[in-house]
Structure 1
Amino acid sequence: MSRVCEFTGKGPMTGNNVSHAKNRTRRRFLPNLQDVTLKSEALDRTFKFRLSTAALRTVDHRGGLDGFMAKAKDTELSTGALKVKKDILKAVSA
Structure 2
Amino acid sequence: MAKYCEICKKGVMSGNAVSHSHRASRRIWAPNIQKVRVMVDGTTKKMHVCTRCLRSGKVQRAI
TM-score, normalised to structure 2's length? 0.78
Q: Which runs of 5+ in 2 are unaligned?
A: none
The Cα shift of 1:2 comes to 4.0
User: Alpha-carbon deviations, 1:20-77, whole Å to 9, x = none?
Assistant: 111111111111100001236x72x322110011111122xx6x53xxxxxxxxxxxx
Provide the rounded CA distance (Å) in 2 between the counterparts of 1:36 and 1:5. Answer: 11
- RMSD of the alignment, in Å? 2.0
Max radius of gyration: which structure? 1
Residue correspondence of structure 1 range 1-94 to structure 2 within 5 A: 2-39=2-39, 43=42, 45-59=43-57, 65=60
Higher helix share: 1
Q: Which amino acid aligns with 1:38?
A: V
Q: Which amino acid aligns with 2:15?
A: G
Q: Which amino acid aligns with 2:46?
A: K
Ranked by relative contact order (alpha carbons within 8 Å, sequence separation 6 or more), the top structure is: 2
Number of aligned pairs?
60
TM-score, normalised to structure 1's length? 0.55
Q: Which runs of 5+ in 1 are unaligned?
A: 66-94
